Amino acid sequence: MHDIRFIRENPAAFDAALSRRGASPVSSEILAIDEARRALILAAETAQAEQNKASKEVGAAKAKGDEDEFQRLRALVAEKKAEIAQMQEQAKQKDEELNTLLLTLPNMLYDDVPDGADENDNVEIGRWGTPRSFDFKPVEHYDLAGVKTGMDFEAGAKLSGSRFVVLTGGVARIHRALAQFMLDFHVENHGLTEAITPVMVKEDMMYGTGQLPKFGEDSYQTTNGWWLIPTAEVTLTNLVNGDTIEESALPMRYAAHTQCFRSEAGSAGRDTSGMLRQHQFEKVEMVSIVHPDESENEHARMTRQAEAILEALELPYRTMKLCAGDMGAGMKRTHDLEVWLPGQDKYREISSVSTAGDYQARRMNARFKPAEGGKPQFVHTLNGSGLAVGRTLIAVLENGQNEDGSVTLPTALHPYLRGKTVLNAAGDLE
């Protein structure tokens, strides 16, 4: 959601900002609706003043016994009442038209976001670790002997269709251990507050974080109107929906491990093998709600939090600043972490850490009261994967693979697996 006052005062700058995302100029349409809305409001207020004046004169005319004037004024009051009701309804319609338009527009990017059309124009800003050299040809996760017995795509397809999987045995335990490790690491080392949230939300929550109205096809809706969350960003961010909190409550930093659901609309033919792209998956999500002055530092902090998980798991990665054409519509800047997958011989996205500025806060009407007093201000919101559990499982399996199809597991996971250090070629932990 955008500040209408900013658009009134900076229409050309607003259009230029949206053009970086490939959007057409829209300020003239916005301002035309806004002007019509404001004119109707002013006309209604003028008519209300005239009605009030005539109402006072009605009593005076009756007291004087001037029946003609009394009837004229009564008719005028009734006429003005009807005019006001009509103009207020028209103003309401214009307000809804304006809000509907604003809700469909993407966020304005920060100046340091590189221009570009797609992922090929993203800019590397950091790298950690050296991809392991193998004395055999590494394979993808689903081709490992130790994984095949515990990662059943046929069972997933039988139960639910394509892009579903059933995990069992040692593979399932590693997946669970990863989620527990991530949560513990964030709580104990990063000071995040662990949360357990619903995975079904009301429609206005999806509007609050920006999935609706434009990207509904990417998510699933139940027959009674709930939406399945694509990530806990939706639930954690909306904890302040409609609230005005004290400045002293900031920052609010959360981590939640949830099931996530995405339709993967537009992904036909992409990553059809393995569990890289699923309709149902698990993720540990980080969300921060902060003072606007702390927004920049918080983005760097959250990026570092996600990087720390990968380093603790001994997984090589690179950090990318996404270009304008590759970013989510609701974000002002996004850092992607891409983990090395030797089976694919490439880096693949495992986390996106983004700052929305006040874009989501305006949609949610989430504000804070400044400690020194004054008008409430919009909070800033940030979110990031810390990390996607399934994709981390893939990275652990592929980077730790051995020639016999077994997997040597990262040291950080050993306590979560009761001292087990290897997934053997039979699919058992030992």
Bridging pattern class, strands 193-195 and 252-261: parallel
Catalytic residue among 354, 391, 398, 406: 391
Residue 372 annotated as lining a ligand binding site: no
Residue 270 annotated as lining a ligand binding site: no
Q: Is 50 a catalytic residue?
A: no
Residue 351 annotated as lining a ligand binding site: yes
| Pair 398, 138: CB distance under 8 Å | yes
Residue 350 annotated as lining a ligand binding site: yes
- Dihedral (Cα; 113, 115, 120, 122), 10-degree rounding: -10
Residue 142 CA to residue 259 CA, distance in Å, equals: 21
DSSP E strands in 72-155: the ranges are: 123-128, 151-152
Distances (CA, A) of 350 to 3, 14, 171, 336: 33, 32, 19, 8
Residue 232 annotated as lining a ligand binding site: yes
Residue 262 annotated as lining a ligand binding site: yes
Residue 392 annotated as lining a ligand binding site: no
Give the residue from 134, 192, 259, 184 showing the smallest Cα distance to 412: 184
Catalytic residue among 20, 37, 262, 333: 262
Residue 59 CA to residue 78 CA, distance in Å, equals: 15
CA angle (400, 403, 404) in 5-degree steps: 105
Q: Is 362 a catalytic residue?
A: no
Q: Is 173 a catalytic residue?
A: no
- What is the number of residues in the chain? 430
Residue 324 annotated as lining a ligand binding site: no
Residue 231 annotated as lining a ligand binding site: yes
Residue 163 annotated as lining a ligand binding site: no
Catalytic residue among 219, 352, 354, 406: 352
Catalytic residue among 8, 72, 74, 277: 277
Q: Is 262 a catalytic residue?
A: yes
Annotated binding-site members for ATP: 262-264, 349-352
Tell me the catalytic residues: 262, 277, 349, 352, 391
Annotated binding-site members for L-serine: 231-233, 285, 385
Annotated binding-site members: 231-233, 262-264, 285, 349-352, 385
